[in-house]
Structure 1
Amino acid sequence: MTSKRLKVLFWMPYHGRIPGGHQVQLVETSRALSVLGVDTSDSYDPDPPLADFDLVHGFGLTPLDILKCRESGRPVVSSPIYWGRSYTTSGPRSDRTTRVVLRDWVGRSWRGFRYFAASLRGRGPLIRLMLEEASTDLEQIAAYSMADLLLVNAKGEGANIRHELGVVTPTRIVPNAVNTSRFSPYFESVREARSLICVGRLEPHKNQLGLIKALKGVDDVKITIVGPDHPDHPRYRDACRRAAGANVSFLPNVQHEQLAELYAAHRVHALPSWYETTGLVSLEAAAAGCAVVTTDRGHAREYFGSDAWYCDPAHPASIRDAVLQALQHGPSAELARRVATEFSWEETARQTLAGYRYVLERGCPEPRARS
């Protein structure tokens, strides 16, 4: 007798209209799990047929979404992609650098200023601000607490969720990954010596404008900005184009399948975001043979270690120095090999499936029989 195939719904009811790493993670994990014998279905529908599945794997679910799953008797595994309250590297205070502690202080000061400014406008604006922030925090805490398991992309992400939100839901580290058959064959490609690529949605969080300004005057470096315009940030797109010199080009209409050849044409990939749990594009670029410059805010070090260059997105000199060093040293064969062997979607799928089995074996809740 053959065992029943597990049926899993990959559910992202929000932000499906905005392309990015969250969608790549959903699609690639779903695909790799299907190879392992799991019946997967991807949905961006706000009201999918939950009763058709044994388990729901959610991306950005609200407490009401998870309540729907509960009412349908379906356990919920969630991929939180949690950025942290102050956009800083987290961890015990004794492990933090002076710069990280300073960032935390700046973040708290900015929040205090917002409260002070609201109070000057009167009691009503102050109360509204407090309720908005409390509502956002409580909704996130509730959503993470209601899930049966959180699949975090890094150890630091799980620590942030515990320490900052007080959530005690079990976590399992499931690293982000790359399509190794698509990106790895390009390591030996011939690249322009002074070429830089930056892949990501054109939005303030990704800090393309900071990159352009940091390299102002370094006219011999060819800069290619790849990624769609964010529908909510048209002014940012315009600011980037105004700041760009003749050595900067924009490619907004590139499909994910076309990225490998673009990485292969450039020596360095830079992602000076204000925060990244990892940065899927950094992993892809590394596998394809680019030297990697990435943000020092988040958990990229858990993936790249000493094989990448890190920059502070708030300081143009830090971005510039990291890029120039990466251009000088060039790609890391060791990093490309390690990414290709340790960060495949096949391995991600195996770790994800182990998480599903953990939840189902605990029996919380017991899936109801399909009608």
Structure 2
Amino acid sequence: MKVLYQTRYNIFERKGGDTVQILKTKEFIESRYPHIRIDIDSDPHADLSSYDMVHIFNMLRPQETVLFMENARKQGKKTALSTIFWRSTEFERHGQIGLRKWVNRMISYDSMEKLRGLYRYYVDGEKHEGTARLIRAGYTRLQRDILEQADLLLPNGEGEIELIRRIFRPEKQLEYVVVPNAIDAGIFACEPDAQRRDIVLCVGRFEPRKNQLNLIRAMSGLSYKLVLAGTAHETQQQYLNAMRKAARTADVEIVDEMDHVELQSLYGRARVHVLPSWYDTPGLASLEAAVSGCNIVATTRGTTKEYFGDDAYYCEPGDVESIRKAVVAAYEAPFNRQLQENILSRYTWAQTADRTVEGYCRMLDRKEPEVSAG
């Protein structure tokens, strides 16, 4: 089987959770199923003649996804879609900063996305047919077109499918296989050592959606040290400056993005990992931190409760006091080994690979291959 992965053009320049998801899914499928080969190409006009199917990622950027979908349909190839979907209305109206926040409060969600499309088309270099269509047809319409054309959906959780049904009310039955977000157990799993854990940690891109600014505010007055690890895109320098300014009132250290080896060491120092995002599905850093011996504070938005159940501490992203209380509760509690065991048993990249291949074979009406003994 030969599969082509297609996703946003800046997947490697502006890295995020979807970057890790794509690379790790490819790595583990090819290692577990030697007869499956995967290529990655963001060309919306790619020649698909040598591929059995196309796997497309991310409904949140429909201006690109719809072009991949239509190219596959034109060339007679079936498509699987990793939805990576959440509706960000609340974030745009309450979690954004500056002028964008106030404009978003006065207009509809689709109008908001059209404005973003106009910015991308005329300012951010995304001057292509997909962005022009988003501006003309609307964000929701483009997402609905994508759903109608996809042969199989691969959401990260049941919550994504429920939200898709509620928003789009699709006429056809949605064929889907839940494929979990995951961790590399060989890198991050370790025994907790409470004696050397004395920091609160947050790993993630520095941006309003990840909500580090409210986390810094929540830490003010607490005796814990907060370490923020990540990087800010050039469009988020205003937010990073606001973080630095707020950090003067608390014990906060801001460090650059790290590789897996450095990150493993940082997780080993943390007693608590916090991701108070405006939405997450569920946040790869939370999964990594949990198996690395940290208690977890997670947002109530997204699919976090589907993954962590009662084994995490939850906070309201817009409520600084809620974040503070969750951090204190998690810091003062003993390590929750049940959460670590649950993630290791259910949310590893090997399982992600197996569920993804199960979906491919179902869609192509093929017998599932056996996992390689090697």
CA distance in 1, matches of 2:225, 2:41: 39
Give the 3 Å change call, closer, same or farther, for CA 45–68 of structure 1 in structure 2: closer
CA distance in 1, matches of 2:226, 2:348: 28
Partner of 2:269: 265
1:31 to 2:24 alignment: no
Superposition map of 1:183-194 within 5 A: 183-184=188-189, 186-190=190-194, 192-194=196-198
Partner of 1:340: 344
| Cα distance, 1:207 vs structure 2 | 0.1
**Amino acid across the alignment from 1:261:** S
Superposition map of 1:4-15 within 5 A: 6-15=1-10
The answer to whether the 8 Å contact 1:194/1:327 transfers is no
In structure 2, the residue corresponding to 1:262 is in which secondary structure? helix
Partner of 1:357: 361
| Cα distance, 1:257 vs structure 2 | 4.2
Give the 3 Å change call, closer, same or farther, for CA 133–258 of structure 1 in structure 2: farther
| Cα distance, 1:113 vs structure 2 | 3.4
The answer to whether the 8 Å contact 2:44/2:67 transfers is no
CA distance in 2, matches of 1:154, 1:251: 31
The answer to whether the 8 Å contact 1:187/1:336 transfers is no
1:232 to 2:235 alignment: yes
Superposition map of 1:138-217 within 5 A: 138-167=141-170, 168=172, 169-184=174-189, 186-190=190-194, 192-217=196-221
Identity %: 36
**Amino acid across the alignment from 1:22:** D
**Amino acid across the alignment from 2:220:** K
CA distance in 1, matches of 2:82, 2:289: 23
The answer to whether the 8 Å contact 1:212/1:244 transfers is yes
**1:223 aligned to 207, 216, 226, which one?**
226
| Cα distance, 1:188 vs structure 2 | 2.7
Partner of 1:114: 107
Q: CA RMSD in A?
A: 2.3
TM-score, normalising length: structure 1: 0.81
**Amino acid across the alignment from 2:243:** C
Give the 3 Å change call, closer, same or farther, for CA 238–65 of structure 1 in structure 2: same
**2:48 aligned to 47, 50, 54, which one?**
50
The answer to whether the 8 Å contact 1:191/1:266 transfers is no
**Amino acid across the alignment from 1:23:** T
CA distance in 2, matches of 1:112, 1:47: 37
| Cα distance, 1:112 vs structure 2 | 7.3
| Cα distance, 1:284 vs structure 2 | 0.6
| Cα distance, 1:289 vs structure 2 | 0.9
Give the 3 Å change call, closer, same or farther, for CA 356–294 of structure 1 in structure 2: same
CA distance in 1, matches of 2:286, 2:273: 7
In structure 2, the residue corresponding to 1:177 is in which secondary structure? coil
The answer to whether the 8 Å contact 1:191/1:264 transfers is no
CA distance in 2, matches of 1:303, 1:221: 27
| Cα distance, 1:268 vs structure 2 | 0.4
The answer to whether the 8 Å contact 2:202/2:228 transfers is yes
1:21 to 2:14 alignment: no
CA distance in 2, matches of 1:162, 1:257: 40
| Cα distance, 1:234 vs structure 2 | 1.0
Give the 3 Å change call, closer, same or farther, for CA 132–42 of structure 1 in structure 2: closer
Superposition map of 1:78-157 within 5 A: 78-84=81-87, 86-87=89-90, 113-114=106-107, 135-157=138-160
TM-score, normalising length: structure 2: 0.80
Give the 3 Å change call, closer, same or farther, for CA 15–166 of structure 1 in structure 2: farther
CA distance in 1, matches of 2:261, 2:267: 11
1:242 to 2:214 alignment: no
CA distance in 1, matches of 2:195, 2:149: 49
CA distance in 2, matches of 1:142, 1:278: 26
Deviations 1:212-262 (A, max 9, x none): 0111121x2111101111232110011001110362111123124432221
CA distance in 1, matches of 2:273, 2:207: 17
The answer to whether the 8 Å contact 1:289/1:336 transfers is yes
CA distance in 2, matches of 1:193, 1:254: 19
Give the 3 Å change call, closer, same or farther, for CA 352–212 of structure 1 in structure 2: same
CA distance in 2, matches of 1:283, 1:256: 14
**Amino acid across the alignment from 1:51:** S
CA distance in 2, matches of 1:221, 1:63: 46
**Amino acid across the alignment from 2:53:** L
Please say which of residues 254-263 and 79-88 is displaced more in the overlay: 79-88
